[in-house]
């Protein structure tokens, strides 16, 4: 380890020498964590999540409460420290300690002398959140109830929805998380051509509701109906009169899902349908018309839409409305199909009764599901939700939940604090880089914690606006 005052000499700047060292004292590069602290306080996330754990530790020897450990892990993930080893140095950051709710942000009152001066938990303590369900030792005394954590994510996600929403679209998707070891439950998946897990995700807009780590020896639709039962029930509790539309690609166009939706009042579906020879034949006239238009117009792409009733030979229980897209491009033909139970003439309370016509249903409703792909990209690229580093599947499931909770905090920060600003549609990575990574000096006295942020920070006005909006919000009820 380098000495704090060891100098680093750089090329001179005119007549001046350029020298640097690490003697700055209680400095932090993550002053934006204070915003995450306020988002968490308003949403009540970490307090709610802490109730999912059974703390079996002797309270006389506990330095770190469960909710403090959870904040450290979730805030760290949101700030870009997804690796537990990062916390070996991060635990010295007094500003993160303040964000996590540590009343002793300098760690001067720790129980054991060798720990004093270190306010936050070590990587091994954080790791016990993930491993306590798999190991029964004197060191692993923080087991959690997976069903409660699952319900907590659903509750927190649904809490972000407007109570008086008239229509809610639930997006389902599956994404392969490749494995690079011999993790429990690993299977080879031909689509990804690798060993992986195949989690099931559910979002409403930008808000995550569901993240279920599944083995890859099943299709995308595996366990979707039990998940939908819980998701729809939670949405109904929050938005009693909302119409619910389940949307997904052809991996979810299955009899079980469609039949379940048809049996629920006020629940509809708009799902992709894998093409086959019968569907292609039914699309024949529209394809012929598209070919003719493409030939005559010289356009790079021509689309025609049609709809018809369709039923499989034996796997479907009834005939269903199918939308067909006949697209002819310079590169070839691209026929696509969507199955739905949405009425062609819309609902009685619709101002625009044509919004479920074949062309509009496909282009405006079904194709909008592609936005969920961007949510999943943020999970993987910005929060490393696909890092399945532990051996146990249950531990990797908890890591997936951690990434989802961290994303929920960032999304809540964006929607509550940054609407109408230049960061209104920023990704998790952009939010972190532009709003959370702020250099600051931290001074702790008896009466206050004084955080002096960099005077050169370019988005000071935006930070101030976000702060005012978050502070105006009251704590959540229920």
CA distance between the termini of the chain: 48
Q: Which tens digit of pLDDT belongs to each residue from 219-230?
A: 999 999 999 999
Cα torsion 320, 326, 327, 330: sign:
positive
Q: How far apart are CA 249 and CA 246, in angstroms?
A: 10
How far does Cα 14 stand from its chain's mean position?
A: 49
Check residue 132 and give its pLDDT: 76
Cα separations in angstroms, 346 against 309, 319, 356, 365: 17, 19, 6, 13
With the C-alpha atoms ordered 323, 328, 329, 332, is the resulting torsion angle positive or negative? positive
Tokens matching residue 404: 């989802």
Mean pLDDT of the chain: 92
R_g of the chain, CA atoms, integer Å: 26
Half-sphere CA count of 452, side-chain side, radius 13 A: 8
- What DSSP designation does 222 have? T
Give pLDDT, residue 478.
44
Question: In this prediction, what percent of the chain has a pLDDT beyond 70?
Answer: 97
Q: Are 21 and 5 in contact (CB under 8 A)?
A: yes
Q: What percent of the chain has pLDDT over 90?
A: 78
Which residues are CB-contacts of 39 (< 8 A; sequence separation ≥ 6)?
409, 412, 413, 416, 417, 470
Spatial distance between the Cα atoms of 252 and 227, rounded to a whole number of angstroms: 13
Whole-prediction pTM: 0.92
Residues 158-202: pLDDT tens digits? Answer: 999 999 999 999 999 999 999 999 999 999 999 999 999 999 999
Mean pLDDT calculated for residue range 393-419:
95
Question: Which pLDDT belongs to residue 381?
Answer: 93
CA angle 288, 289, 294 (to 5 degrees): 100
List C-alpha distances in Å: 73 to 87, 121, 141, 401.
9, 9, 17, 11
Residue 4 confidence (pLDDT):
62
| Sequence-separated (6 or more) residues with CB below 8 Å from residue 263 | none
At 236, the pLDDT band (50, 70, 90 cuts) reads very high
What CATH number has the domain spanning 147-382?
Answer: 3.90.350.10
Q: What is the per-residue pLDDT for 365?
A: 95
| Exposed / middle / buried, residue 110 (Cβ in 10 Å: 0-12, 13-18, 19+) | middle
Is it the case that residue 45 has pLDDT exceeding 60? yes
Q: Quick one: pLDDT at residue 477?
A: 47
Task: Transcribe 117-168 into DSSP letters.
Answer: T--S--HHHHHHHHHTTT--STT----B-HHHHHHHHHHHHHHTS-TT-SEE
3-class state of residue 355 by DSSP = coil
Query: 320-352: string of b/e by CB count within 10 Å (b at 16+)?
Result: bbbbbbbbbeeeeeebbbbbbbbeeeeeeeeee
What is the layout of strands, in order, in the sheet containing 449-453?
Answer: 27-28, 440-444, 449-453
- Residues of the chain within CATH 3.90.350.10 domain(s) are 147-382
Task: Report the half-sphere exposure of 7 (CA within 13 A, side-chain side).
Answer: 5
The residues, ordered by sequence, that sit 6+ positions from 21 with a Cβ below 8 Å of its Cβ are 4, 5, 6, 7, 8
Burial of 102 (0-12, 13-18, 19+ CB in 10 A): buried
The answer for 193, left when phi > 0, alpha when psi is -120 to 50, beta otherwise, is left
Q: What's the half-sphere exposure (Cβ side, CA atoms, 13 Å) at 10?
A: 7
Tokens of 1: 């380890």
What integer is the mean pLDDT of 30-36? 96
Q: Range with the lowest mean pLDDT among 10-14, 110-114, 321-325?
A: 110-114
Q: How confident is the model at residue 3 (pLDDT cuts 50, 70, 90)?
A: low
In terms of DSSP H, where are the helices of 182-276? 224-238, 255-262
pLDDT tens digits, 432-475: 999 999 999 999 988 999 999 999 999 999 999 999 999 998 65
**Which of 16-30, 136-150, 170-184 is modeled with the greatest confidence?**
170-184
């Amino acid at each position: 380890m380098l000495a704090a005052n060891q100098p680093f000499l750089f090329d001179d700047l005119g007549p001046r020498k350029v020298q640097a060292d690490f003697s700055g004292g209680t400095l932090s590069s993550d002053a934006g964590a204070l915003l995450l602290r306020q988002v968490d306080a308003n949403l009540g996330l970490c307090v709610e999540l802490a109730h999912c754990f059974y703390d079996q530790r002797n309270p006389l020897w506990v330095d770190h409460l469960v909710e403090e450990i959870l904040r450290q892990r979730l805030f760290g993930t949101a700030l870009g420290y997804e690796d537990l080893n990062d916390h070996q140095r991060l635990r010295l950051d007094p500003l993160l300690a303040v964000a996590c709710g540590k009343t002793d942000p300098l760690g001067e009152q720790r129980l054991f002398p060798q720990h004093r001066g270190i306010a936050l938990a070590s990587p091994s303590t954080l790791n016990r959140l993930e491993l306590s369900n798999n190991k029964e030792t004197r060191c692993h005394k923080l087991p959690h109830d997976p069903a409660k954590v699952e319900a907590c994510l659903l509750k927190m996600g649904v809490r972000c929805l407007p109570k008086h929403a008239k229509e809610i679209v639930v997006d389902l998707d599956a994404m392969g998380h490749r494995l690079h070891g011999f993790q429990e439950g690993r299977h080879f998946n031909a689509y990804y051509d690798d060993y992986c897990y195949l989690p099931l995700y559910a979002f409403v807009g930008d808000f995550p509701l569901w993240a279920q780590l599944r083995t890859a020896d099943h299709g995308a639709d595996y366990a979707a109906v039990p998940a939908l039962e819980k998701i729809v029930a939670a949405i109904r509790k929050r938005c009693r009169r909302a119409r619910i539309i389940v949307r997904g690609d052809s991996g979810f166009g299955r009899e079980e899902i469609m039949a379940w939706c048809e049996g629920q009042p006020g629940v509809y579906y708009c799902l992709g349908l894998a093409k086959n020879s019968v569907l292609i034949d039914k699309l024949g006239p529209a394809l012929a018309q598209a070919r003719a238009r493409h030939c005559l117009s010289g356009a790079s792409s021509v689309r025609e839409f049609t709809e018809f009733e369709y039923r499989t030979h034996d796997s479907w229980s009834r005939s269903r409305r199918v939308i067909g897209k006949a697209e002819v491009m310079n590169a070839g033909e691209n026929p696509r199909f969507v199955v739905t139970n949405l009425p062609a003439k819309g609902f009685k309370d619709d101002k625009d009764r044509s919004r479920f016509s074949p062309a509009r249903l496909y282009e405006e409703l079904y194709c909008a599901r592609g936005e969920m792909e961007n949510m999943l990209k943020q999970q993987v690229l910005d929060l490393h939700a696909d890092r399945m580093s532990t051996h146990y599947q249950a531990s990797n499931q908890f890591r997936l939940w951690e990434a989802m909770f961290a994303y929920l905090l960032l999304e809540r920060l964006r929607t509550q604090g940054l609407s109408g600003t230049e960061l209104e549609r920023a990704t998790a990575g952009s939010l972190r880089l532009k709003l959370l990574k702020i250099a600051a000096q931290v001074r702790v006295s008896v009466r206050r914690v004084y955080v002096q942020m960099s005077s050169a920070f370019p988005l000071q006005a935006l930070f101030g606006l976000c702060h005012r909006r978050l502070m105006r919000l009251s704590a959540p009820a229920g």
